[in-house]
Structure 1
Amino acid sequence: MERTRSLWLLAAVLAALGQCHGSSSEQCSGAVAVQRRVDCHPQPGASQESCEARGCTWCTTDVPNAPWCFFPEDSPYGYSLGGNAEKTAKGWRVTLNKRSQLSLFGSDISPVVIDVEFQTKDRLRFKVYDPNRERFEVPLKIDSPGVAAEDTSYDVEFTDDASHFRIKRKSTGTVLWDSPLVDLFFSNQYLQITTAVPSTSVYGFGEHEHVSFKHSMDFVTYGMYSRDQAPTPNANLYGVHPFYMCVEDDSNAHGVLLLNSNAQDVSLSPNPSLTFRTIGGILDFYVFLGPTPENVVQQYTEAIGRPHMPAYWSLGFQLSRWGYGSIDVLKETVNRMHRYDIPYDVQHLDIDYMERRLDFTYDKENFAGLPEYLQELKKAGMHNVIILDPFITKDEEPGTYKPYDLGEEMGVWVNNSDGVTPAVGEAWPPGHSVFPDFTNPRTVEWWTQLCLEFKNVLDYDGIWIDMNEPSNFLRGQFPGCADNDINNPPYIPSISDRSLAQKTLCPDSKTYLGEHYNTHSLFGWSQTEPTFHAAQQATGKRAFVLSRSTFVGSGKHGGHWLGDNFSQWKDMHYSIIGMLEFNLFGMPYIGADICGFNYNTTYELCLRWMQLGSFYPFSRNHNAEGNMEQDPAFFGAEFAKISRATLRIRYSLLPYLYTLFYESHVHGNTVVRSLMHEFTSDQQSRGIDTAFLWGPAFMVAPVLEEASTAIKKRHHTG
C-alpha cells in the first residue's frame, strides 16, 4: 500500500513538473550519455511506462547491456546536505536530508548520516546509516587507531555545491571516490550508492567465475549472495567478497571494501563507474590508499585479519575423490601413487567415508578398518583430512545419534521465524536435517566437543567444511517461506533465480545475530573460526581448515578451493583468475580441483592441469562421484613421470613458498600475484591472467589450450 501511494504521488508530481521523458530520437538527444547511465529500473521487467512513472528517462540504445531506463541529469531522487560538517573524535559527521518524497521501493529513510573516520595514514572509513534506528552491521571487528587529518594520504570533501562526496589522493590529486548525492538511496530494504572510478583497471568482487582478471566495464553486474551452485560465469557462488582494487592511470593503486553481508550487487559501467546496491544493513565502506597493489592487500588484511599460517605439510600435494566407495579402492589409489613415487602428503576423505552421510560417523561396512588405516598412513608420514557438512539429520532413533541429541539439548539450531522451532530442510543425510547456527556461542561449544571426540575415532589432521552457504536441497525449509517483505523484498539483487531462498533457508529464519536475511552469507565465515580452533585443540598442531563458503576475513582461519568446477580447458584458465582474486581477498591458501570436479577428464587435459595445479598454493586433485578416476597414478607410467617431475619442482621450492606464506601471515602480502603487481606501470601487465607469480621472483606460465605445446602471448584488455 505504501509503495502504491508513493508511485501515485510520484506520477502526480511528475505530471505537474513535466519531467517525463519519451523515447524518440529528438527527446533522447539531451539524455545522459550512454556510458554515464545509472539504471533506474534495476529489477527485470522495465518498460517505458514503469520507467517514466519513476521520473526517469527511457531511451533505447544498441549498446549491449546498457540500461534503457536511467536517472536524468535533473534526477529528483537522492539527498542533499543538511547543514555543516561536525567534527568527531576520529573525523567528521554530516547529516543528509532526502530531496523529495519520491521513492523507488518505499520506506525511504531521512535524515541519514555519513560518518567519516580517519583510521590510519592510508585507510579511511565512511559509513552511511540511520541515526534514529539501529540496523544490522557485520560483526567483524576492525581496529581504528585514529590519525590526524593532516597526517593522512587522502583528503575528504564535499564539492562547493554540496552535490558530490569525494575522496582524493593528496600526492597526485586523483579522485578515488566520487559519489553524486542524487544517486544515493537509503530505504529500509534498498540501499544504493554510485561512484566514479579513476580508471578501467578494476579487479576483485567475488565469489564468481570471472572470465578475465581485469574486469570488463561494459555494463556488467555481479550479484553477491552465498549460493551452492557449480561455477557459471558471473553467477553468485559460494562466498561473498565485496572488495575491489583499482589501478589508476598513473599506476598508483587503491582498494575499497563494502562491509555488508546482505544480498547485493554491483554494476560496472564504462563511465567508468560502480553502482552498489544492497537490501539491508548499512553502507559501510573502507578505502585503502596503497599506493602499490601489494600495499593495498597489506592494508586490507591489516584491517580484516592477516591470513593464517598454514602447516608446512599442507603445502604438499593432496589427493581426494568423492566416490572411492570403499577402503579397498582408497588403499589401491594410495598404493599406486606410492608405486609411481609421486610426491604426495595428504589424503582427503569425502562424504562416502561416512555412515549414510552422517557427520561424525564412518561406514563400518565399506570402510571397515578405516581408523587403523589412517594410523598407518600417519606412521608413513602422511596426513589425513576429513570432510564435515553443516546439516544434521533429526530423524535417527532417539539416543542413537549424539550430534543431533546434544544439539537439541543445547539449542544450537537455526530457527524458523518464530525464533523457537528449528528450521528443517533436506540435504545429504537420510530424512530431514536441521542447521547449526555458528553465530551462537553454544553452537561453538557443541561443535568443538564433537570435533574433539571424533579425533579419537578417526585420527585426522585437518577438517574440510563443505556445503556451508548453507546448502539446503529445498527452496526454503518446510513448509515453505511465508509471503512477507523479508522473504520477498521489493528488490532482489542480480543473483541466480532472483531468489533468496533457492537451495537455502528462508530469509526470515532466526539466528543468534538476527534474521537469516542479514546473516545468510556469514554462515561459512562463522563456522570457519570455531572449526579452526577445534582442529588446533584436537591435533595440538597448527590447524588446517578448508571452507567452501567464505566472507571478508575468512582467510584468518581457513583456506578455500574454487568449488565444483568442470573438466574443461576454460576452467583451467578461470582457476588462475580465481586464485589471483582470492589473494586480493586475503585468502592466499587457495586452489582449484585439479583435472576438474564435474565431468570426465581427458589424458591431455588432466596432464596439463597437473602441471598447472602443481603451482596452486593449495594443490589437490579431486573429482565427483560417478566420474572416472583421475589421480596422477591412474593414467600410467608416462603421465606419472611428467606429474612427478612437475611436483618435484614444487617440492624443491617449498621453502620459498613457506616463506611467502610467512610474509603473508605477518605482513599481509599476496602469495600468488598477477604480473601487474610487480610491473604495475607496464600497461600490458594489467590484462595478463594466463600466467602468475609466486611472490616477486618466480613466474608460472602454463599451457592452457588443447593440442598446444607452446605458450601463446595473449592478454585480456577487459
Structure 2
Amino acid sequence: MNKRQALSLFGNDISPIVLEVEFQTKDRLRFRLYDPNKQRFEVPLKIDGPGVTAEEANYEVEFSDDSSHFRIKRKSTGTVLWDSPLVDLFFSNQFLEITTTVPSTSVYGFGEHEHPTFKHNMDFVTYGMYARDQAPTSFANLYGVHPFYMCVEPDSNAHGVLLLNSNAQDVTLSPNPSLTFRTIGGILDFYLFMGPTPENVVQQYTEAIGRPHMPAYWSLGFQLSRWGYNSLDVLKATVDRMKHYDIPYDVQHYDIDYMERRLDFTYDKVNFAGLPEFMKELKKNGKHNVVILDPFVTKDEEPGTYRPYELGQEMGVWVNNSDGVTPAVGQAWPPGYSVFPDFTNPRTVEWWTTLCLEFKDVLDYDGIWIDMNEPSNFMRGQIPGCADTEINNPPYTPSITDRSLAEKTLCPDSKTYLGDHYNTHSLFGWSQTEPTFNVVQQATGKRAFVLSRSTFVGSGKHGAHWLGDNFSLWKDLRRSIIGILEFNLFGIPYIGADICGFNYNTTYELCLRWMQLGSFYPFSRNHNSEGNIEQDPAVFGDTFAEISRDTLRIRYSLLPYLYTLFYESHVHGGTVARSLMHEFTSDQETHGIDTAFLWGPAFMIAPVLEEATRSVSVYFPEAQWFDYYTVLPSAWKKTYTTVSAPLNKIPLYIRGGYILPQQAPATTTTESRLNPFGLIIALDEEGQASGSLFWDDGDSIDTIEKENYFLAKYTFSNVSGNIQDTYLHGGRCNLV
C-alpha cells in the first residue's frame, strides 16, 4: 500500500512510502513502512518465516475504507492489538513517527532503562533508547537498546511487539492508552507476536531473534568480582576468607586493575605477579576465571611494543572518521588516546579472534567479560570534535541523556563497515558479542561464557548481561528485580545485577539483604567499584558469612532446577525468571507486582527490600503454596499475607503441582555435581505434581544438538501413591 503522510515539520519528507504486510507464521506478523525509491539502513538481523495464508493466521489485518486506519486484530476474540491512524504518520529523512492504541495499560518492556515499576506508568511518560555508558538513573537511556514490549489484553491474552530499528529513538506511553514511536533513521520495521500467554509471547519473540544460549553449569554458581583488588595479594586474601567460611563460590572475575596500565591483552606483572599460576590453581580447585576486555585500544604506546594496536592498524579494523579513511580517535581507560575496533567488519572479527586466542596462552580464562561497548568514550565525539552537520545534530533528537548523540561516544558521522555510526551505534556491543562467544568456545573447547554490558535485540543468543553500574542503595536493590524480569522478556534470561551495589559504600544490612536476593538472580555476582569498601560475603564477619552461606546453599541445591529452566529456554525460548503476572495472568492483582518473582512456574522468591524490616507482605495467587523452609502448606490464596523475614531468612515458596529436582550443595558446582540428587514434590489440591530434570556434562558444546544428555520427566499422583519417571535419554540418576 502506498501512503502519503502528513508533513513532519523536520524537513526532507519522503513521499510516497510503502506499507508492506507479511504473514510470517500463524503467530507472527511483520509490517514495515519504507521508502520504495531509496535504500535506507535496516538492522542486519534476518527474521524470516515460512509464510502463512490469511486463513491460517491467528490475526487479521484491516484498513479502513478511506485508508486512514491500519488495524491488527486477534482473530479469536476481535481484540484490536494495533491501531494506527495513518494520517498521523510521519516519515522524513531524519524523523519517523507512528502512534498506535494498545488494548490495556498492562504494558511491560522497553529498554534499557531503570524503570520504577515493571508494569509501566502510562501517564505521558517518554523513554529514550540509544546505547550509552550511563549508570542506572531514572528516565535515562542506558547500555542497551530493546524496543520490545508486551501487552496483556483485558481478557488476559498477551501479545508482544518489536520495532526493529537501531537508530536513536524514543517511545511515549500515553493514558489513551497508546504508544508513540519516534526514530531518526532507518525504517519502521515492526513484528507482532500473538502469544496468547506471556510465555508464548517470549517463545515466539526468541524464535524470531534467536534463542538464548545454553550457559555452562559452572556459570550458575556464585561469582565474585571487584574493580579495585589492585593486587594479587588482596585477591588471595579474599579467596582465603571465602574458603575459611566455606561460602559457595564458583567464578572469579578480573576487572581492569589486573591489566598493565589498563591495556587490553596484558596483565600487571608487578601488582599481579603470579596471576597465570593463581588462575590455574583456582581451576585445580574446581573454580573458573573470567577476564574483562574493553573495546578501545591505545594508539600511543612506543612503536613495536603494543601488538593489539599495530595488528589492528595493519588490518584496518578501526571505526573511522567521516572521511572513511582515518581512524576515529577518542579517550578512555588506556594511557594516551584510543581507537575503536569496528566489530561489524569481518577483518575486525579476525583481529579479535587472533588476540583472544593468543591471550588464552597468557591467562587461562574460561570466559570473557566485554565492558564499555556502547562504545564508551570519555569525550563528546572524537578529536577534534563533531562537525556541525545534520547527521551530527539532527533536527529532532530523541529523549536521550544530554540530547546529544555524541556524548560519551563517537560522532554520528563516523564510518563503520555497515555505514554511518548514526545508524550502527547501538549495534556495537551486539556485533562484538557473537565473535567473542565464538572465540571463547574456540579457545577453551567448552561452552562459552560472555558477559556484555551493551546489548541489542538478539544478544541473548551469544551473551549474558548485568544491569550495569548500579548503586549501593535500597532503591537499586528493589529495582534490580524489574530489570531481571525485563531482560527475560528481551530474550536474555542469563541476567543479574551487581550484588550489594557497584557505586558507593554498602552497609551491613543492605549487603546482607542483597546477598539473599542475589542468591536467586539467574546470574549471581557480587561486584563493586574502585575506592569503595570490600563487600564480598566473607568480609563482614561470622554471622553475615553464615547467613550468606546458608542462602547460597539453597541456590546450589536448586541448581538442577535452574539448569533445567535454562535448557527449556534454550530449546523452546521463554523465560527463566518471571513475574507472578506471567503465570497468573488472569489475576489482575498480579499485573503490578514486581517485589517478588518466580524461577520458572514453581519457585517464588519474596525478598526483603526495605531497611530495618523483619517481615514482608507477599501476594499468593490462586494455587497451593508451600513454605520452602517448613514444607508446610499455606492456607493463603488470592490474598496478601505478612510473613516473617528475620535478618537470617529470605521468604521462599514452592507452588503445588510441581516437582523440583535438587542436589546436595557444595562449595563449587564441580563438587556439587557429584552429589546425590533428590526431588521436592509439591502436590496441588488434587494430589498431583509434575516436573523434569535436564542433565549433561555441564560445559561441552552442543550437547543438546548432539543428543548427548539425559532428560527425565516426572509425574506424581496421590492416587497411586508413587512417583513415575520417564527417561528419555541416558542413564539413571540416583534419587535419594
> What residue in structure 1 maps to residue 4 of structure 2?
97
**1: distance between equivalents of 2:312 and 2:49?**
37
Helix, strand or coil at the partner of 2:353: helix
Match of 2:464 among 559, 575, 578: 559
Paired letter, 2:470: N
**2: distance between equivalents of 1:197 and 1:627?**
45
Please tell me whether residue 500 in structure 1 is matched to residue 401 in structure 2.
no
Please tell me whether residue 585 in structure 1 is matched to residue 490 in structure 2.
yes
Please tell me whether residue 112 in structure 1 is matched to residue 32 in structure 2.
no
Please tell me whether residue 596 in structure 1 is matched to residue 501 in structure 2.
yes
Please tell me whether residue 314 in structure 1 is matched to residue 219 in structure 2.
yes
Structure 1's consecutive aligned runs of 4 or more residues displaced over 3 angstroms after TM superposition are none
Paired letter, 1:547: S
**1: distance between equivalents of 2:487 and 2:5?**
38
> Deviation at 1:714?
7.7
> What residue in structure 2 maps to residue 574 of structure 1?
479
The 5 A counterparts of 1:11-410 are 94-98=1-5, 102-410=7-315
> Deviation at 1:636?
0.6
Paired letter, 1:366: N
Paired letter, 1:95: N
Match of 1:509 among 409, 414, 417: 414
**1: distance between equivalents of 2:274 and 2:46?**
45
> 1:665-697 CA deviation, whole Å, 9 max, x = no partner?
000020000000110000000000000000001
Please tell me whether residue 538 in structure 1 is matched to residue 443 in structure 2.
yes
* Sequence identity (%): 85
Match of 1:664 among 569, 589, 601: 569
More strand by share: 2
> Deviation at 1:142?
1.1
**1: distance between equivalents of 2:321 and 2:119?**
42
Paired letter, 1:352: D
> What residue in structure 2 maps to residue 59 of structure 1?
none
> Deviation at 1:98?
3.5
Helix, strand or coil at the partner of 2:203: helix
**2: distance between equivalents of 1:323 and 1:205?**
33
Paired letter, 2:75: K
Paired letter, 2:422: Y
Paired letter, 2:282: L
TM-score (normalizing by structure 1): 0.86
The 5 A counterparts of 1:630-645 are 630-645=535-550
> 1:360-401 CA deviation, whole Å, 9 max, x = no partner?
000000000000110000001100000000000000011110
> 1:22-60 CA deviation, whole Å, 9 max, x = no partner?
xxxxxxxxxxxxxxxxxxxxxxxxxxxxxxxxxxxxxxx
CA contact (8 A) 2:299 2:309 kept: yes
Match of 2:342 among 437, 448, 452: 437
**2: distance between equivalents of 1:378 and 1:430?**
32
Helix, strand or coil at the partner of 2:617: coil
**1: distance between equivalents of 2:555 and 2:139?**
32
> 1:326-371 CA deviation, whole Å, 9 max, x = no partner?
0000000001001100000000000000000000000000000000
**1: distance between equivalents of 2:5 and 2:177?**
26
**2: distance between equivalents of 1:224 and 1:128?**
20
Paired letter, 2:517: L
**1: distance between equivalents of 2:143 and 2:89?**
29
**1: distance between equivalents of 2:116 and 2:481?**
10
> Deviation at 1:97?
1.9
Please tell me whether residue 491 in structure 1 is matched to residue 396 in structure 2.
yes
CA contact (8 A) 2:5 2:91 kept: no
> Deviation at 1:713?
4.6
> Deviation at 1:162?
1.7
> Deviation at 1:143?
2.0
More helix by share: 1
Paired letter, 1:198: P
**2: distance between equivalents of 1:461 and 1:127?**
42
Helix, strand or coil at the partner of 2:555: helix
> Deviation at 1:160?
2.3
Q: Which moved more, 1:137-146 or 1:187-196?
A: 137-146
> What residue in structure 2 maps to residue 702 of structure 1?
607
> What residue in structure 1 maps to residue 679 of structure 2?
none
> 1:306-326 CA deviation, whole Å, 9 max, x = no partner?
000000000000000000000
Distance 1:381 1:103, change over 3 A: closer
CA contact (8 A) 2:319 2:341 kept: yes
**2: distance between equivalents of 1:476 and 1:238?**
17
> Deviation at 1:141?
1.3
> What residue in structure 2 maps to residue 449 of structure 1?
354
Helix, strand or coil at the partner of 2:205: helix
The 5 A counterparts of 1:422-433 are 422-433=327-338
Please tell me whether residue 610 in structure 1 is matched to residue 531 in structure 2.
no
**1: distance between equivalents of 2:619 and 2:295?**
42
Paired letter, 1:364: K
Paired letter, 1:670: T
> Deviation at 1:182?
1.4
**2: distance between equivalents of 1:433 and 1:134?**
33
TM-score (normalizing by structure 2): 0.84
> Deviation at 1:265?
0.1
Please tell me whether residue 473 in structure 1 is matched to residue 473 in structure 2.
no
Distance 1:427 1:107, change over 3 A: same
Paired letter, 1:264: Q
Paired letter, 1:277: R
> Deviation at 1:262?
0.1
**1: distance between equivalents of 2:67 and 2:232?**
70
> Deviation at 1:144?
1.7
Distance 1:639 1:103, change over 3 A: closer
> 1:573-615 CA deviation, whole Å, 9 max, x = no partner?
1000000000000000000000000000000000000000000
CA contact (8 A) 2:375 2:409 kept: yes
> What residue in structure 2 maps to residue 678 of structure 1?
583
**1: distance between equivalents of 2:503 and 2:348?**
33
> What residue in structure 2 maps to residue 88 of structure 1?
none
CA contact (8 A) 2:145 2:456 kept: yes
Helix, strand or coil at the partner of 1:371: helix
**1: distance between equivalents of 2:322 and 2:582?**
47
